[in-house]
Amino acid sequence: MVWVEIDGSYGEGGGQILRTAVALSVITGKAVRITRIRANRPNPGLRPQHLHGILALKELSNARVKGAQVGSTELEFIPGEAKPRHIRVPLSTAGSITLVLQALLPAMAFIGGSFEITGGTDVPWSPPVDYLKHVTLFALGKMGVKAELEIKRRGHYPKGGGAVAGKVEPWEEMKPLFAFEWGKIERFSGISHATNLPAHVAERQAKAAKERIEEHYNAPVDIETEVSGSLGPGSGIVVWAETDGLRLGGDALGERGKPAEVVGREAADELLDQLKTRAAVDKFLGDQLIPFLAFAGGEVKVAEITNHLLTNVWVVERFFGKVFEVEREGRGGVVRVIRRVDG
């Protein structure tokens, strides 16, 4: 058996390597061996949310897996026959639902299927679920990926309790994505939510974000507010600019002692910072697009070339050889597909 060998400590050395490598293993049918998993992190090896993503892909592809346990620093994944399934992922406490979806979505785009995932929808160090739904899936839609996501309940750190459901159709028409600079902002949109907290928290976050955006741009700003209940309290806001190309986003989470106004301004400032470069793709979306761009082709300008993006490029090229050319321009740059992979 020929293995694709992946050094899990390469580049930013985090869970992204695992998610992309195992998803590509399912797509290609190639066995993958990942060593030194998160070797340079304070808590090395597989964490529970990484493990759940791997187990979901195992189920999707009827794979044989060795080393799939918390703390393991080496993983062998041998995919079997992949076919559309309904995948349930029960993340304990507030494990990130969106990070599991970063593993599942590329594979499901090729196979099809549906999912239910419980855990954290809005937690630190991972994309909020509203960003994935309104920014990431919007961009993937431009590439021909048909995916739906429904947020059934919010889940915050530390208790979790969030729930999402969705489905992905097999990717039939792969459309190359060409997105350089935005020329016009049609409007700003967003969702400000408060869970197990007073309604005024969501309203104050939204108002502060709206006012900050209006200081810089003369375009309509419409931020919805949402108040709900779950296992524990939490709040957050995601705002995005709807341009004549893609959407660019910014987000912030509430925390005890942090005024709602600060949360709202933080999300707005993050978005405004991305817009300054006029790049069509924000720094968060850049690395998420990489596995899809490899198959669809295209060229995008990213507000910031992050270590996550470069690591994802490296993982893709461990499977397929040279695919991308990355050209830096200041902190941002252009990512160009020079050899499209046959899906």
In this structure, what are the phi and psi dihedrals at residue 114, rounded to the nearest 5 degrees?
-135, 165
Distance of CA 123 to the CA centre of its chain: 13
- Check the annotation: does 102 bind a ligand: yes
- Check the annotation: does 285 bind a ligand: yes
Angle at which helices 48-61 and 97-111 cross, to 10°:
20
Residues counted in the chain = 343
β-sheet with 64-66: strand ranges across: 3-7, 31-35, 75-78, 64-66
- Check the annotation: does 16 bind a ligand: no
Which of 50, 156, 193, 308 is an active site residue?
308
85 near 63, Cβ under 8 Å?
Answer: no
227 near 194, Cβ under 8 Å?
Answer: yes
- For this structure, is 86 an active site residue? no
- Check the annotation: does 286 bind a ligand: yes
- Check the annotation: does 269 bind a ligand: no
111 near 83, Cβ under 8 Å?
Answer: yes
| Contacts for 135-140: CB closer than 8 Å, 24+ residues apart | 135/238, 135/240, 135/246, 135/247, 135/248, 135/249, 135/282, 135/284, 135/285, 136/285, 136/288, 138/246, 138/247, 139/177, 139/179, 139/246, 139/247, 139/281, 139/285, 139/289, 140/105, 140/109, 140/289, 140/292
Both tokens of residue 125? 């160090």
Q: Which amino acid is at 241?
A: A
155 near 161, Cβ under 8 Å?
Answer: yes
- Check the annotation: does 284 bind a ligand: yes
Distance of CA 152 to the CA centre of its chain: 18
Sequence-ordered strand ranges (E) for 180-312: 185-195, 221-228, 234-243, 247-253, 298-302
Catalytic residue numbers?
308
